[in-house]
Copies of this chain bind each other. A is one copy, B any other.
Protein backbone atom coordinates (compact mmCIF):
# COMPACT_ATOMS: atom_id res chain seq x y z
CA UNK A 1 0.00 0.00 0.00
CA UNK A 2 1.18 3.51 -0.77
CA UNK A 3 2.78 5.19 2.26
CA UNK A 4 1.04 8.28 3.63
CA UNK A 5 3.20 11.39 3.89
CA UNK A 6 2.68 13.78 6.75
CA UNK A 7 3.90 17.37 6.96
CA UNK A 8 4.07 18.83 10.45
CA UNK A 9 3.92 22.63 10.62
CA UNK A 10 5.04 24.12 13.91
CA UNK A 11 7.65 22.37 16.03
CA UNK A 12 6.92 23.74 19.49
CA UNK A 13 5.53 21.82 22.44
CA UNK A 14 2.84 20.00 20.49
CA UNK A 15 4.69 19.71 17.19
CA UNK A 16 7.70 18.06 18.79
CA UNK A 17 5.37 15.74 20.70
CA UNK A 18 3.68 14.62 17.49
CA UNK A 19 7.03 14.17 15.75
CA UNK A 20 8.49 12.08 18.56
CA UNK A 21 5.44 9.92 19.34
CA UNK A 22 5.10 9.15 15.61
CA UNK A 23 8.67 7.89 15.65
CA UNK A 24 8.57 6.05 18.95
CA UNK A 25 5.27 4.21 18.36
CA UNK A 26 5.51 3.93 14.58
CA UNK A 27 5.24 0.12 14.45
CA UNK A 28 2.19 0.01 16.70
CA UNK A 29 0.52 2.97 14.96
CA UNK A 30 1.02 1.39 11.56
CA UNK A 31 -0.28 -1.97 12.83
CA UNK A 32 -3.47 -0.19 13.87
CA UNK A 33 -3.76 1.98 10.77
CA UNK A 34 -2.85 -0.71 8.27
CA UNK A 35 -0.77 1.89 6.41
CA UNK A 36 2.79 3.10 6.53
CA UNK A 37 2.39 6.59 7.94
CA UNK A 38 5.56 8.66 7.89
CA UNK A 39 6.48 12.23 8.66
CA UNK A 40 8.25 13.43 5.55
CA UNK A 41 8.11 17.22 5.97
CA UNK A 42 8.48 19.63 8.85
CA UNK A 43 7.71 23.34 8.57
CA UNK A 44 9.28 25.41 11.33
CA UNK A 45 11.12 28.71 11.62
CA UNK A 46 13.81 26.96 13.61
CA UNK A 47 14.78 23.40 14.58
CA UNK A 48 13.79 21.95 17.92
CA UNK A 49 16.65 20.14 19.67
CA UNK A 50 14.11 17.59 20.97
CA UNK A 51 13.57 16.32 17.41
CA UNK A 52 15.97 14.50 15.10
CA UNK A 53 15.11 16.06 11.74
CA UNK A 54 17.81 14.25 9.75
CA UNK A 55 15.30 12.08 7.88
CA UNK A 56 12.78 14.78 6.95
CA UNK A 57 12.59 17.74 4.61
CA UNK A 58 12.62 20.92 6.68
CA UNK A 59 10.92 24.04 5.34
CA UNK A 60 11.42 27.40 7.03
CA UNK A 61 8.33 28.73 5.25
CA UNK A 62 5.42 26.55 6.36
CA UNK A 63 3.46 27.42 3.24
CA UNK A 64 5.95 25.33 1.29
CA UNK A 65 4.69 22.28 3.19
CA UNK A 66 1.14 23.11 2.09
CA UNK A 67 2.36 23.21 -1.50
CA UNK A 68 4.71 20.20 -1.48
CA UNK A 69 3.31 17.76 -4.07
CA UNK A 70 4.16 14.61 -2.09
CA UNK A 71 2.59 15.71 1.21
CA UNK A 72 -0.81 14.06 1.80
CA UNK A 73 -1.71 15.52 5.17
CA UNK A 74 -0.76 18.91 6.62
CA UNK A 75 -0.70 19.09 10.41
CA UNK A 76 -1.11 22.67 11.67
CA UNK A 77 0.45 23.12 15.11
CA UNK A 78 1.44 26.77 14.94
CA UNK A 79 -1.41 28.23 16.97
CA UNK A 80 -3.10 31.60 16.67
CA UNK A 81 -5.28 32.65 13.78
CA UNK A 82 -2.86 34.43 11.42
CA UNK A 83 -0.29 32.17 9.77
CA UNK A 84 -2.25 29.16 10.96
CA UNK A 85 -5.34 30.21 9.04
CA UNK A 86 -3.40 31.05 5.91
CA UNK A 87 -1.62 27.70 6.10
CA UNK A 88 -4.80 25.69 6.59
CA UNK A 89 -6.63 27.39 3.72
CA UNK A 90 -3.55 27.08 1.50
CA UNK A 91 -3.26 23.37 2.30
CA UNK A 92 -6.94 22.82 1.53
CA UNK A 93 -6.54 24.77 -1.65
CA UNK A 94 -3.75 22.42 -2.67
CA UNK A 95 -6.01 19.42 -1.99
CA UNK A 96 -4.30 18.38 1.22
CA UNK A 97 -6.14 16.97 4.18
CA UNK A 98 -5.65 19.02 7.33
CA UNK A 99 -5.28 18.22 11.00
CA UNK A 100 -5.09 20.96 13.61
CA UNK A 101 -4.98 21.29 17.38
CA UNK A 102 -5.99 24.94 17.13
CA UNK A 103 -9.18 25.65 19.11
CA UNK A 104 -9.22 29.39 18.40
CA UNK A 105 -8.88 28.76 14.68
CA UNK A 106 -11.72 26.23 14.62
CA UNK A 107 -13.99 28.19 16.97
CA UNK A 108 -13.53 31.47 15.12
CA UNK A 109 -12.97 30.36 11.52
CA UNK A 110 -14.25 26.78 11.46
CA UNK A 111 -17.37 27.53 9.41
CA UNK A 112 -15.23 29.06 6.66
CA UNK A 113 -12.56 26.35 6.84
CA UNK A 114 -15.04 23.46 6.71
CA UNK A 115 -16.77 25.10 3.76
CA UNK A 116 -13.46 25.36 1.88
CA UNK A 117 -12.57 21.76 2.75
CA UNK A 118 -15.94 20.56 1.56
CA UNK A 119 -15.45 22.27 -1.79
CA UNK A 120 -12.06 20.63 -2.21
CA UNK A 121 -13.26 17.23 -0.91
CA UNK A 122 -10.62 17.09 1.80
CA UNK A 123 -11.01 16.33 5.49
CA UNK A 124 -10.25 18.69 8.38
CA UNK A 125 -9.81 16.93 11.73
CA UNK A 126 -9.27 18.62 15.07
CA UNK A 127 -9.66 16.19 18.00
CA UNK A 128 -6.80 17.89 19.88
CA UNK A 129 -8.59 21.25 19.83
CA UNK A 130 -10.92 20.26 22.67
CA UNK A 131 -9.73 18.75 25.95
CA UNK A 132 -6.27 17.84 24.64
CA UNK A 133 -5.69 14.10 24.88
CA UNK A 134 -9.28 13.10 25.65
CA UNK A 135 -10.98 11.67 22.56
CA UNK A 136 -14.16 13.57 23.35
CA UNK A 137 -14.87 14.90 19.86
CA UNK A 138 -14.84 11.31 18.64
CA UNK A 139 -17.13 10.34 21.50
CA UNK A 140 -19.72 13.00 20.66
CA UNK A 141 -19.44 12.78 16.91
CA UNK A 142 -19.37 8.99 16.63
CA UNK A 143 -19.76 7.24 19.98
CA UNK A 144 -22.99 9.04 20.86
CA UNK A 145 -24.37 9.19 17.31
CA UNK A 146 -27.58 7.46 18.42
CA UNK A 147 -28.46 10.19 20.87
CA UNK A 148 -30.22 13.45 21.04
CA UNK A 149 -27.80 15.30 23.31
CA UNK A 150 -29.37 17.35 26.10
CA UNK A 151 -26.38 19.14 27.58
CA UNK A 152 -22.61 19.16 27.81
CA UNK A 153 -20.68 20.45 30.84
CA UNK A 154 -16.94 20.44 30.88
CA UNK A 155 -13.82 21.38 32.77
CA UNK A 156 -12.00 22.33 29.60
CA UNK A 157 -9.27 24.63 30.83
CA UNK A 158 -6.60 22.95 32.93
CA UNK A 159 -5.05 26.20 34.19
CA UNK A 160 -8.30 27.40 35.69
CA UNK A 161 -8.97 24.02 37.24
CA UNK A 162 -5.48 23.94 38.72
CA UNK A 163 -6.03 27.36 40.31
CA UNK A 164 -9.42 26.42 41.77
CA UNK A 165 -8.05 23.08 43.03
CA UNK A 166 -5.15 24.86 44.75
CA UNK A 167 -7.50 27.39 46.32
CA UNK A 168 -9.54 24.55 47.76
CA UNK A 169 -6.79 22.14 48.80
CA UNK A 170 -4.44 24.70 50.27
CA UNK A 171 -6.67 27.68 51.08
CA UNK A 172 -4.65 29.85 48.72
CA UNK A 173 -5.79 33.07 47.10
CA UNK A 174 -6.50 33.30 43.38
CA UNK A 175 -3.38 35.46 42.91
CA UNK A 176 -1.14 33.01 44.75
CA UNK A 177 -2.44 30.01 42.87
CA UNK A 178 -2.11 31.84 39.57
CA UNK A 179 1.51 32.79 40.29
CA UNK A 180 2.17 29.14 41.06
CA UNK A 181 0.50 28.02 37.81
CA UNK A 182 2.70 30.47 35.94
CA UNK A 183 5.85 29.20 37.66
CA UNK A 184 4.89 25.62 36.73
CA UNK A 185 4.30 26.59 33.11
CA UNK A 186 0.54 25.88 33.26
CA UNK A 187 -0.35 29.55 32.72
CA UNK A 188 1.05 32.14 30.34
CA UNK A 189 2.58 35.42 31.52
CA UNK A 190 -0.68 36.98 30.31
CA UNK A 191 -3.13 34.51 31.82
CA UNK A 192 -6.30 36.16 30.57
CA UNK A 193 -6.97 33.59 27.86
CA UNK A 194 -7.19 30.91 30.52
CA UNK A 195 -8.59 32.59 33.61
CA UNK A 196 -11.05 34.84 31.81
CA UNK A 197 -12.64 31.88 30.06
CA UNK A 198 -11.78 32.68 26.41
CA UNK A 199 -9.92 29.43 25.87
CA UNK A 200 -12.66 27.38 27.51
CA UNK A 201 -15.25 29.15 25.38
CA UNK A 202 -13.41 28.33 22.15
CA UNK A 203 -13.71 24.68 23.10
CA UNK A 204 -17.29 25.03 24.27
CA UNK A 205 -18.35 26.59 20.98
CA UNK A 206 -16.96 23.54 19.19
CA UNK A 207 -18.61 21.06 21.57
CA UNK A 208 -21.95 22.82 21.18
CA UNK A 209 -21.83 22.58 17.40
CA UNK A 210 -21.02 18.88 17.55
CA UNK A 211 -23.76 18.23 20.08
CA UNK A 212 -26.56 20.35 18.69
CA UNK A 213 -26.04 20.56 14.95
CA UNK A 214 -25.56 24.32 15.02
CA UNK A 215 -22.88 26.41 13.30
CA UNK A 216 -19.93 27.62 15.38
CA UNK A 217 -21.04 30.69 17.33
CA UNK A 218 -18.27 31.67 19.72
CA UNK A 219 -19.23 35.33 19.64
CA UNK A 220 -22.68 34.68 21.06
CA UNK A 221 -21.52 32.87 24.17
CA UNK A 222 -21.61 34.27 27.70
CA UNK A 223 -18.13 34.24 29.24
CA UNK A 224 -17.20 34.87 32.85
CA UNK A 225 -13.76 34.11 34.27
CA UNK A 226 -12.63 33.08 37.75
CA UNK A 227 -10.81 36.23 38.91
CA UNK A 228 -13.65 37.23 41.23
CA UNK A 229 -13.77 33.86 43.02
CA UNK A 230 -12.32 34.31 46.50
CA UNK A 231 -10.88 31.73 48.86
CA UNK A 232 -13.87 32.28 51.15
CA UNK A 233 -16.22 31.35 48.30
CA UNK A 234 -14.33 28.11 47.78
CA UNK A 235 -14.55 27.40 51.51
CA UNK A 236 -18.21 28.34 51.76
CA UNK A 237 -19.02 26.07 48.83
CA UNK A 238 -17.18 23.21 50.52
CA UNK A 239 -19.12 23.78 53.73
CA UNK A 240 -22.39 23.63 51.82
CA UNK A 241 -21.45 20.39 50.02
CA UNK A 242 -20.30 21.91 46.73
CA UNK A 243 -17.11 22.58 44.80
CA UNK A 244 -16.44 25.51 42.51
CA UNK A 245 -15.44 24.52 39.00
CA UNK A 246 -14.96 26.71 35.95
CA UNK A 247 -17.38 25.03 33.56
CA UNK A 248 -18.26 25.39 29.94
CA UNK A 249 -21.94 24.55 29.60
CA UNK A 250 -23.97 24.03 26.43
CA UNK A 251 -27.58 23.08 26.91
CA UNK A 252 -30.54 22.59 24.64
CA UNK A 253 -33.60 24.32 26.03
CA UNK A 254 -36.99 25.14 24.54
CA UNK A 255 -35.91 28.56 23.36
CA UNK A 256 -32.61 27.46 21.75
CA UNK A 257 -29.14 26.60 22.97
CA UNK A 258 -27.45 27.99 26.08
CA UNK A 259 -23.74 28.64 25.61
CA UNK A 260 -21.94 29.83 28.72
CA UNK A 261 -18.63 29.66 30.56
CA UNK A 262 -18.59 30.63 34.24
CA UNK A 263 -17.49 29.45 37.67
CA UNK A 264 -20.09 27.01 38.93
CA UNK A 265 -21.00 25.39 42.24
CA UNK A 266 -21.29 21.65 41.62
CA UNK A 267 -22.44 19.08 44.25
CA UNK A 268 -19.28 17.50 45.67
CA UNK A 269 -20.48 13.94 45.04
CA UNK A 270 -20.44 14.49 41.28
CA UNK A 271 -17.51 12.92 39.47
CA UNK A 272 -16.91 16.26 37.72
CA UNK A 273 -16.47 17.93 41.11
CA UNK A 274 -13.65 15.49 41.82
CA UNK A 275 -11.59 16.30 38.72
CA UNK A 276 -8.60 18.11 40.17
CA UNK A 277 -5.45 19.90 39.11
CA UNK A 278 -4.77 20.44 35.41
CA UNK A 279 -6.98 17.54 34.33
CA UNK A 280 -9.97 18.07 32.06
CA UNK A 281 -13.30 16.26 31.94
CA UNK A 282 -16.43 16.54 29.86
CA UNK A 283 -19.81 15.28 31.07
CA UNK A 284 -22.46 14.71 28.44
CA UNK A 285 -26.14 14.06 29.08
CA UNK A 286 -27.91 12.38 26.20
CA UNK A 287 -31.36 10.89 25.80
CA UNK A 288 -30.53 7.25 25.13
CA UNK A 289 -27.28 6.65 27.01
CA UNK A 290 -27.84 9.06 29.91
CA UNK A 291 -24.69 10.57 31.42
CA UNK A 292 -21.21 9.72 30.14
CA UNK A 293 -17.98 11.38 31.22
CA UNK A 294 -14.59 11.63 29.54
CA UNK A 295 -11.53 12.47 31.62
CA UNK A 296 -7.85 13.04 30.93
CA UNK A 297 -5.09 15.58 30.38
CA UNK A 298 -6.34 18.66 28.56
CA UNK A 299 -2.97 19.92 27.42
CA UNK A 300 0.72 19.06 27.21
CA UNK A 301 3.05 17.88 24.50
CA UNK A 302 2.33 14.15 24.20
CA UNK A 303 -1.29 14.16 25.39
CA UNK A 304 -2.11 16.63 22.62
CA UNK A 305 0.05 14.63 20.21
CA UNK A 306 -2.04 11.56 21.07
CA UNK A 307 -5.16 13.24 19.69
CA UNK A 308 -3.38 14.66 16.64
CA UNK A 309 -2.06 11.23 15.71
CA UNK A 310 -5.46 9.59 16.31
CA UNK A 311 -6.78 12.05 13.72
CA UNK A 312 -4.01 11.05 11.34
CA UNK A 313 -4.93 7.36 11.67
CA UNK A 314 -8.63 8.14 11.18
CA UNK A 315 -7.88 10.30 8.17
CA UNK A 316 -5.64 7.72 6.55
CA UNK A 317 -8.60 5.33 6.51
CA UNK A 318 -10.90 7.77 4.72
CA UNK A 319 -8.49 9.71 2.51
CA UNK A 320 -9.51 7.89 -0.61
CA UNK A 321 -13.16 7.15 0.06
CA UNK A 322 -16.06 9.26 -1.18
CA UNK A 323 -16.22 12.40 0.98
CA UNK A 324 -19.80 11.74 2.11
CA UNK A 325 -18.57 8.57 3.85
CA UNK A 326 -16.32 10.58 6.15
CA UNK A 327 -17.56 11.72 9.55
CA UNK A 328 -18.77 15.29 8.89
CA UNK A 329 -16.59 18.07 10.33
CA UNK A 330 -19.33 19.32 12.63
CA UNK A 331 -20.86 15.88 13.22
CA UNK A 332 -23.88 16.50 11.00
CA UNK A 333 -23.91 16.50 7.24
CA UNK A 334 -23.76 20.09 5.96
CA UNK A 335 -27.13 21.43 4.99
CA UNK A 336 -28.58 19.63 7.99
CA UNK A 337 -27.18 22.12 10.50
CA UNK A 338 -29.92 24.00 12.30
CA UNK A 339 -29.97 27.71 12.95
CA UNK A 340 -30.92 27.27 16.59
CA UNK A 341 -30.79 30.51 18.48
CA UNK A 342 -28.25 31.03 21.24
CA UNK A 343 -30.19 32.03 24.34
CA UNK A 344 -29.44 35.49 25.79
CA UNK A 345 -27.72 35.20 29.16
CA UNK A 346 -30.45 37.34 30.75
CA UNK A 347 -32.98 34.64 29.86
CA UNK A 348 -31.01 31.76 31.35
CA UNK A 349 -32.25 30.09 34.51
CA UNK A 350 -29.87 28.77 37.15
CA UNK A 351 -29.70 28.42 40.90
CA UNK A 352 -27.16 30.81 42.43
CA UNK A 353 -24.72 31.27 45.26
CA UNK A 354 -24.66 34.89 46.49
CA UNK A 355 -22.21 36.38 48.98
CA UNK A 356 -22.80 39.82 50.48
CA UNK A 357 -20.92 41.81 53.06
CA UNK A 358 -23.52 43.32 55.43
CA UNK A 359 -23.55 45.39 58.59
CA UNK A 360 -24.87 43.10 61.30
CA UNK A 361 -27.93 45.03 62.38
CA UNK A 362 -31.66 44.54 62.82
CA UNK A 363 -33.71 44.55 59.64
CA UNK A 364 -30.98 43.84 57.09
CA UNK A 365 -31.92 40.24 56.55
CA UNK A 366 -35.55 41.12 56.21
CA UNK A 367 -34.78 43.85 53.66
CA UNK A 368 -32.71 41.45 51.57
CA UNK A 369 -35.20 38.61 51.67
CA UNK A 370 -37.99 41.03 50.77
CA UNK A 371 -36.14 42.18 47.69
CA UNK A 372 -35.55 38.58 46.63
CA UNK A 373 -39.10 37.46 47.19
CA UNK A 374 -40.33 40.58 45.43
CA UNK A 375 -38.57 39.30 42.29
CA UNK A 376 -40.00 35.81 42.79
CA UNK A 377 -36.68 34.41 43.96
CA UNK A 378 -36.86 31.55 46.48
CA UNK A 379 -34.10 31.05 48.99
CA UNK A 380 -32.82 27.51 49.29
CA UNK A 381 -30.31 28.15 52.06
CA UNK A 382 -28.88 31.07 53.98
CA UNK A 383 -25.76 31.17 56.11
CA UNK A 384 -24.16 33.97 58.09
CA UNK A 385 -20.41 33.86 58.72
CA UNK A 386 -19.01 35.41 61.90
CA UNK A 387 -17.10 38.64 61.28
CA UNK A 388 -13.35 38.27 61.07
CA UNK A 389 -11.11 39.86 63.70
CA UNK A 390 -11.38 43.62 63.38
CA UNK A 391 -14.18 43.56 60.81
CA UNK A 392 -17.49 45.17 61.51
CA UNK A 393 -19.45 43.43 58.76
CA UNK A 394 -20.47 39.83 58.35
CA UNK A 395 -20.59 37.66 55.25
CA UNK A 396 -24.02 36.52 54.29
CA UNK A 397 -24.31 33.53 51.96
CA UNK A 398 -27.55 32.88 50.11
CA UNK A 399 -28.35 29.96 47.83
CA UNK A 400 -31.28 30.68 45.54
CA UNK A 401 -33.50 28.25 43.74
CA UNK A 402 -33.54 28.32 39.96
CA UNK A 403 -34.22 31.86 38.81
CA UNK A 404 -34.07 33.81 35.59
CA UNK A 405 -30.80 35.72 35.31
CA UNK A 406 -32.50 39.05 34.57
CA UNK A 407 -34.64 38.81 37.72
CA UNK A 408 -31.59 38.01 39.81
CA UNK A 409 -29.60 40.89 38.34
CA UNK A 410 -32.44 43.27 39.14
CA UNK A 411 -32.56 41.96 42.72
CA UNK A 412 -28.79 42.24 43.09
CA UNK A 413 -28.89 45.87 41.96
CA UNK A 414 -31.51 46.68 44.57
CA UNK A 415 -29.62 44.79 47.28
CA UNK A 416 -26.39 46.62 46.49
CA UNK A 417 -28.22 49.90 47.06
CA UNK A 418 -29.16 48.99 50.63
CA UNK A 419 -27.22 51.12 53.12
CA UNK A 420 -26.27 48.09 55.19
CA UNK A 421 -24.77 46.22 52.25
CA UNK A 422 -21.12 46.94 51.53
CA UNK A 423 -19.64 46.67 48.06
CA UNK A 424 -20.72 44.31 45.36
CA UNK A 425 -22.64 41.06 45.63
CA UNK A 426 -20.64 38.04 44.51
CA UNK A 427 -22.71 35.75 42.29
CA UNK A 428 -21.70 32.23 41.35
CA UNK A 429 -24.12 30.10 39.38
CA UNK A 430 -24.97 26.56 40.44
CA UNK A 431 -25.62 23.42 38.42
CA UNK A 432 -26.87 20.12 39.80
CA UNK A 433 -25.58 18.22 36.73
CA UNK A 434 -28.21 15.53 36.83
Contact = CB atoms under 8 A, between A and B. Distances in A.
Interface string A281-322: 000001111111111110010110111111001100110110
Interface string A2-41: 0000000000000001000110110011011110000000
A310 B33 contact: no
Contacts of A271: 271, 274-275, 295
Nearest to A276: B269
Contact of A332 (B25, B31, B141): B31
Given A25-B148, A138-B138, A145-B33, A288 B317 contact: no
Interface residues of A, number: 66
Contacts of A127: 143
Contacts of A29: 145-146
A213 interface: yes
A29 B145 CA distance: 6
Contacts of A310: 142-146
A333 interface: yes
Nearest to A22: B146
A153 to B, nearest CB: 13
Interface of A: 1, 17, 21-22, 24-25, 28-29, 31-34, 127, 133-135, 138-139, 141-148, 213, 271, 274-275, 286-297, 300, 302-303, 305-310, 313-314, 317-318, 320-321, 324-328, 331-333, 336
Contacts of A331: 32
Contacts of A327: 317
A313 B21 contact: no
A180 B280 CA distance: 35
A25 B286 CA distance: 11
